[in-house]
Every structure is written in structure tokens, then in C-alpha cells.
Amino acid sequence: IPPSKDPRLLIKDLRFERVKVRIYQPKKSNNSQRRGILYFHGGVGRFGSIRAYERTCRYFCRKTNSVVVCVEYRLAPKHPFPAQFEDCLTAAIHFLRTAQDHGVDPSRIVICGDSSGGTLTAAVAQALVNRGDLPKLRAQILIYPFLQCVDFNLPSYQQNERVPILLKERTLVLGLKYVNMDLGIIKELFKGCHVSEDRRLKYQKWVSPDYIPHEFKTRGYKPSPAYLPSKELCEVSEPLFDPVFSPLLAEDSVIAQLPETFILTCEFDVLRDDGLLYKKRLEDHGIKVTWCHLQEGFHG
């Protein structure tokens, strides 16, 4: 859709520091400052663009009477991970600092993203918790996010491994390409051989089928056998446990400071349980969570 063709909205392309953004503002005059939505699109850090999310951002802008900023972060493989996160963080800091220049109340800014954009949203929210020099985020909105790489045999990974578009194997292939790792390790990742004993003990209090409510296990879930970790694979897999890539693995001290959160999950999505586990972690720390579960929903 051509960016200038909407009689109700003012749409323009800008740069926040080095990062390209497209900003959507309602044309109707407003006596007070508007709310702001910063949107990070999905696409596993390799696909997607401002153009692909044109309809989504216009819809948000019109329906919520907010100023919407869509971030055109750099894509892999030309720009390797974590360039995507760095661009999103840069855009968020710039928007929080300059909100009033765009008619936005700095205390009413939410960040939002879908799929890997949800991962970026969670990672940016975590990176901002200790920034005393910036306004606090009003909320984070996570639309079926990828959040962890500890356990690829959670109930949702088992139940939905052959559900398009995000097949279980495709999820790992895309994720490994994103962090530029060898695809030959996929079968070992499925078995959990990349998680050392120390990590397993640390993460089991956050990532475990035990924390998935029973009603999500009725569709043919079977507990997986445990395999011994491979020392070599554990070393190679180190980048996967960085909270920038796996925000569910952030320390409690970070999780406890996060803003109010909205999480959307889909029943027929391998990433469903990532959302459920993050919901539990946030609620355990007293963070208010609004949860929307689409019983007939699937990824994309």
C-alpha cells in the first residue's frame, strides 16, 4: 500500500538515530498528548519490513487513536544477530526521549511485537528496566513470542510440531540461521543435549512442563526421556541462552521490574507454552498480565 494514501492518517518515514522508522499519526486534532505504540515486526530477524506491516500499523493507529511507530530494524544474514535488538533498543530510547515532539505522552508508551518481534519486545523491555534517565514503559505487548531455547519438547512443541506455518523443525532452522549456527545440531537440540547440568538445574524453576496448566496437556502430550548433555554442544550453544535471544531466561531481578504486560497465545502454535511460562514468571513477581488465548488460533 502506498504510505501516503490514507485520508485519516498522516504517515511519514523518519530516522530515529540510524534506524529507519515509519510513523503513523491520526489527522484529527487532539487537545491532549496521545498514547504511543512502538511496533517491532516478526520474521525471525531475517524477513519482514515496514511495508509488510502497513495494514497492521494503520489499524492500530485508527482504532486506538495512538501514534504508531513501526521500526525497520536491519535484517540477518547481512546484519548478524544482535543487530536487530540493537536497532529496536535504539529506536525505543529515541522515542521515549522525543515523544513530545510527536505529540505523545512519554508516560503512555507501549512496545509491541509479534513472533520474533515479540522476542525483541521482551528483550527491549528488559534492557530498559534499569534506565533511570528515561520514562518507564507503560506496558509491553507480546503476540505469540519466542522466548526460550531450553526445552523444545514442551507440550505445545509436541502437539503442534506439524502445524503450519511454524513447524517445529522450521522454528529451529530459522532460529539457528538467525544466530548463524550449524543446522547439523538440530536433532541434538530436540533431545536437550545442549543444556548442561548446571543450566538445567538453574532453568528448571522457569522452564518445565510442570508449569503448563493441565488443560494444555490433554492433546496427546507425553513427557520426554532425559538425555545426557554433550559438553561440546553446550559450548557451541552458549549464545542461545542470552536473555536477548531467550528473554524467559532473564534473572528474577530483571523480571520483577517489568511493566504491565499483554500476552497473546494460540492453541495450535509451537510457541504457545513460551507465552504461558512467561505469564507465570511475571505473575509470580506481581506483574499484572492480561492474557488472551485464541482457542482456534495458529501462528501467523
Domain boundaries defined on the chain: 9-143, 155-241
pLDDT band at 29 (very low <50, low <70, confident <90, very high): confident
Nearest CA to 22 among 47, 44, 2? Answer: 2
Number of other CB atoms surrounding residue 247 within 10 Å: 29
pLDDT given for residue 269 in this prediction: 98
Strands 9-16 and 19-26: antiparallel
Please provide residue 8's backbone torsions phi and psi, each rounded to the nearest 5 degrees.
Answer: -95, -15
Task: Check pLDDT > 90 for residue 136.
Answer: yes
Query: Is 210 a residue of the active site?
Result: no
In CATH, what is the architecture of 9-143?
Answer: 3-Layer(aba) Sandwich (3.40)
Is 102 considered catalytic here? no
Catalytic residue among 66, 115, 196, 237: 115
Residue 2 has pLDDT above 70, yes or no: no
- How would residue 5 be classed by pLDDT, with cut points 50, 70 and 90? confident
Catalytic residue list contains 214: no
Number of H helices, E strands in the chain: 10, 8
Q: What is the pLDDT of residue 3?
A: 55
